[in-house]
């Protein structure tokens, strides 16, 4: 390991330069105008894997391509399936970035760019740790199969088909994903549970075009008012989601888990200040950590209707649209939740307007066995690189692929996050601490060794 550690140190600056090149590529998968950039990012990853000494290829899909790479030269040793994504969230609102989203800039020990932590920076730690082994030892202590996709931020629509078609090829003993966070600075974590998600878009349609609010106001249902009424009806005064049956399948938190969560440091004042909110809000009877990791939600992610310009405009808008996501917890069935949401909204919608309901991706929430042998190997690797043992946590985000790995490939996942949840992922000024990037790369390098010891 000494040679490898030295290689990582000697090449640290080059790794950052290469990461910058990766981050300059505007691989926004949600927006079709960036299609070519998304492909460019795939090619970048492909070249990186080949450069590290792996066999690699671009796998075409109906959407953006999947990069697949492998090295299978360690017969008898475990096979690790490494997943990451090279696509990024849209960068807007653009005017809130201090430096442009796709011009990676280093300040205060961090690299700022869209995708810095989610997930280009994090997936790059594994690419570079593999390179370090291959260039130093000429081999890896485990077999690796890498699946780096370009549609994670839009629901991984073509990934499951790829997994299903390549079940044999992708056979592995364990999966590794670095797309989560440490618990706090210098408090590395292994995430053993994630929330699921359902995403939909609802449109309330009224008159065939915008109408004069003086001439017609009061006699015609206003689609914005009606949409607001629907959304307003999604929560009660105790912060609970009111969709009938929403909580029916939710497993209660165990006393043990609540105690462990409560034992984690949580500075309420710092939390509020960091986010810039005047007070906490959420479901009555649960702590902030419980609300984020283990309770389901229903949030509007965007709303639009009627006049969008400056000044007033006295119209009744023709329609109004909202994008809605629910975060789900283990045992909630996404399809059932979506159906319940649609039924509930349709029941609330008066006949004076029409409701359109469209769904996007969904995936269930889940928890993994926190005491598996691979979990133990990961704990050791992290402790070596970070100098401190990781805490075992859950997270509020969703990584649908981890659910697919379990259901389609029968393999559990180690969720090893090197970033911070304050790194502004999905927000302006996303960044990744360079110290975390380098420690993550080192932990990854040690992980392959520790995993090779698992019998």
Nearest to 65 by CA among 35, 25, 89, 90: 35
User: For residues 122 and 297, which CB has a smaller minimum distance to a second copy in the complex?
Assistant: 297
**Smallest gap, in angstroms, from Cβ of residue 258 to a second copy?**
15
How near is the Cβ of 16 to a second copy at its closest, in Å?
A: 24
| CB 203 to a second copy: min, Å | 13
CB-nearer residue toward a second copy: 291 or 439: 291
Q: How far is the CB of 410 from a second copy (least distance, A)?
A: 25
Give the alpha-carbon dihedral of 396, 400, 403, 409, to 10 degrees.
Answer: -150
Nearer to a second copy, 256 or 284 (CB): 284
Q: How far apart are CA 419 and CA 443, in angstroms?
A: 13
Nearer to a second copy by Cβ, of 52 and 316: the residue is 316
- Decide whether 74 or 303 has the Cβ nearer to a second copy: 303
In whole angstroms, the minimum distance from the beta carbon of 185 to a second copy comes to 16
DSSP string across 63-126: SSPEEEEEE---TTS-EEEEEEE--B----SGGG-SS-TTS-EEETTEEESTTTTTTHHHHHHH
- Residues 6 or more apart whose CB falls under 8 angstroms from that of 273 comprise none
For the bound state, the minimum distance from the C-beta of residue 250 to a second copy, rounded and expressed in Å, comes to 12
- CA gap 118, 115 in Å, rounded: 5
Q: Give 27 or 89: the residue with its C-beta nearer to a second copy.
A: 89
Quick one: CA dihedral 304, 310, 316, 318, positive or negative?
negative
Q: Which residues contact 30 (CB under 8 A, 6 or more apart)?
A: 89, 90, 153, 154
Q: Which is closer to a second copy, CB of 240 or CB of 380?
A: 240
Closest distance between a second copy and the C-beta of residue 405, in Å? Answer: 18
Q: Which residues contact 124 (CB under 8 A, 6 or more apart)?
A: 15, 18, 19, 22, 48, 437, 441
Beta-sheet pairing, 189-194 with 391-394: parallel
Residue among 113 and 224 whose Cβ is closer to a second copy: 224
Distance of closest approach, residue 56 Cβ to a second copy, in angstroms: 28
Measured between alpha carbons, how far is 116 from 162 in angstroms, rounded to an integer? 26
Q: Closest approach of Cβ 13 to a second copy, in Å?
A: 30
**Alpha-carbon gap, residue 51 to 131, rounded angstroms:** 8
DSSP β-bridge partners for residue 355: 204
Nearer to a second copy, 131 or 152 (CB): 152
């Amino acid at each position: 390991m000494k040679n490898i550690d030295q290689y990582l140190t000697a090449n640290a600056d080059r790794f950052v330069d290469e990461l910058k090149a990766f981050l300059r590529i505007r691989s926004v998968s949600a927006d079709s105008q960036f299609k070519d950039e998304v492909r460019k990012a795939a090619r970048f990853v492909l070249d990186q894997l080949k450069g590290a000494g792996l066999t690699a290829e671009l796998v075409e899909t109906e959407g953006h391509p999947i990069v697949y790479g492998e090295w299978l030269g360690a017969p008898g040793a475990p096979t690790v399936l490494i997943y990451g994504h090279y696509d990024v969230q849209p960068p807007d609102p653009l005017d809130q970035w201090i430096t442009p989203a796709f011009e990676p800039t280093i300040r205060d020990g961090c690299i700022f760019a869209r995708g810095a932590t989610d997930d280009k920076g994090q997936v790059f730690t594994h690419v570079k740790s593999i390179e370090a082994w291959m260039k130093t030892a000429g081999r890896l202590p485990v077999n690796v199969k890498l699946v780096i996709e370009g549609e994670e931020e839009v629901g991984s629509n073509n990934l499951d088909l790829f997994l299903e078609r390549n079940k044999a090829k992708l056979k592995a003993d364990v999966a590794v994903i670095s797309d989560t966070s440490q618990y706090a600075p210098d408090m590395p974590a292994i995430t053993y549970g994630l929330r699921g998600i359902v995403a939909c878009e609802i449109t309330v349609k009224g008159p065939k075009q915008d109408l004069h609010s003086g001439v017609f106001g009061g006699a015609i249902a206003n689609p914005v008012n009606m949409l607001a009424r629907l959304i307003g009806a999604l929560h009660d005064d105790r912060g609970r989601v009111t969709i009938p049956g929403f909580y029916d399948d939710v497993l209660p938190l165990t006393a043990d888990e609540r105690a462990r969560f409560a034992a984690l440091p949580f500075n309420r004042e710092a939390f509020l200040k960091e986010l810039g909110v005047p007070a906490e809000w959420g479901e009555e009877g649960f702590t902030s950590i419980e609300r984020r990791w283990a309770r389901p939600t229903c949030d509007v992610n965007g709303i639009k209707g009627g006049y969008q310009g400056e000044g007033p405009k006295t119209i009744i808008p023709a329609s109004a649209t909202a994008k809605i996501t629910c975060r789900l917890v283990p045992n909630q069935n996404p399809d059932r939740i979506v159906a319940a949401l649609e039924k509930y909204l349709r029941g609330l919608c008066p006949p004076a307007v029409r409701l359109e309901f469209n769904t996007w991706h969904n995936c269930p929430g889940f928890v993994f066995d926190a005491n598996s042998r691979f979990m133990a190997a990961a704990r050791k690797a992290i402790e070596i690189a970070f100098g401190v043992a990781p805490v075992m946590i859950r997270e509020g985000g969703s990584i649908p692929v981890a659910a697919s790995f379990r259901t389609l490939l029968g393999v559990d996942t180690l969720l090893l996050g090197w970033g911070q949840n304050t790194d502004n992922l999905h927000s302006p000024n996303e960044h990744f601490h360079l110290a975390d990037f380098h420690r993550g790369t080192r932990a990854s390098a040690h992980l392959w060794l520790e995993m090779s010891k698992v019998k």
